[in-house]
Chain A
Amino acid sequence: MGYGDEGFTIYDLQLWAEGLGITLWVFAISMIIGITIGIGIGLVRYYRLPFIGKLLMAISEFLKNSPVLVQLFLVYFGLSALLQIELSPNQAAIITLAANTAAFIAVIVISSIEAIDKKQLEAARSFAMDEVTILKRIIYPQSLAIAMPMLVGLLINQLQVTSLISVIGVYDLTRVGDIVNQRTFEPFIVWPVVGLTYFILAKIIGIIGSKLEKRFGSYRMMQEV
């Protein structure tokens, strides 16, 4: 099929592997940063630090109610123009994805902490446990069990969002698909292969996630008994 194409070569496989590597790398880095900041925001909100909490929630609303693609443009073209700094596509991608993830993680953190029975906290305080110990021994293990399914869902979702970074010029899996497609004119092979790769990655996250859910879930059951 196609015209002027030379079919697929072994080089395409190498490109695919490189794209996969960049997708995974950007995903991993931005998730680690996003989860860390998100937990921070969640805790700040939970302990009701004045002003900062409100500001962070406003930013988080902004991130959740605008397209990620526009956020990518805003960071890559907008922020660099406004602040007169140079950002590489990869840096812009990581900043945007991490900020986005942080906004969602913050909500997950707050809702899972609030799901914990308040009487346990009162009991712990009446035993004169300090706040750090309460956080470590009571809030953390239980909220993690509650948050786990939401976290897995978010990670699978954010994996798909990484495909957008191809638009600002990151050489990820989707960009590789675009390049190979333009050379071979075989969209009916290229895009299903790219799609299937994301599909398998999502499934792997799902499987790992449900294993973790079971582990933390059983821990939670033990606690309740």
Chain B
Amino acid sequence: MADFSSMMEYFPEFWEGFLMTAEVSIYSIMGSFILGTIVALMRVSGQFFMDRLARIYIDLFRNIPFIVLVFFGFYGLPEVGVYIDAFWTGVLVLSFAVGAYVAETLRAGIMNIDKGIIEAAQSFGFSKIKVYRKIILPIALTTSVRPLGSVFINLILTTSILSTITLNELTSVSKIIASETFRPFEVYVFIVFFYGVLTFILSGLITKWHVRLNRFASEGA
């Protein structure tokens, strides 16, 4: 039968892996958000070439498995003289892959904005960048923040794939502990708990962000 008593003595190792997973997630969330925002703006820019480029990016990164992208990055980039470690390869590939989903989510939010608001802002003589930063993005985020939250929760779960390129995060650490203890069932059930903690924290933060972004919204909205 399952016996979890031996798991606690490995807590320090699990904790190290947990921190590594959290770290790679935080950087990738920031990276994918920045990249996704740029691509979403390219999509709505109304310029044919920008829009086409953004579409190709989104199409490719949403339809090619993450593990294939990671292998391309980890084994392929050194071939062209780019040497980066597993951690930053992970952050880079995750940012690109998840950025595609962020872009589509944000685009949907931008399309929902009342055109009159944007025209009003432009008539005040705001620069294009200021209109995007101060008006379009905050309003788009009020509706996109929840779907963005599930995109980022998926990002956290996807970090487990980085164990295949030797990054010592939760899944990788668990593999080592499982082979040491001969208790694979307990180990893998145990780390699901750690992933649960991470996704729980993130969804809490997303809810806070949602409330903050919607603080000016009227009751019914």
Contacts and interface: CB of A to CB of B under 8 A. Distances in A.
A67 B79 contact: no
Interface in A141-167: 156, 160-164, 166-167
B185 A74 contact: yes
Contacts of A174: 65, 67-68, 71
A17 interface: no
Contacts of A203: 63
Contact of B66 (A82, A160, A162, A177): A160
Contact of B79 (A161, A187, A195): A187
B209 interface: no
B142 interface: no
Nearest to B175: A73
Interface string A183-195: 0000110011011
Interface secondary structure of B, over-half rule: helix
B54 to A, nearest CB: 17
Given A78-B184, A78-B185, A199-B63, A191 B160 contact: no
B198 to A, nearest CB: 10
A162 B64 CA distance: 11
A175 B186 CA distance: 27
Contacts of B65: 160-164, 174, 195, 198
A79 interface: yes
Interface string A1-17: 10000000000000000
Interface in B176-219: 178, 182-189, 191-192, 195-196, 199
Interface in A46-105: 62, 65-70, 73-74, 77-79, 81-82
Contacts of A194: 68
A199 B64 contact: yes
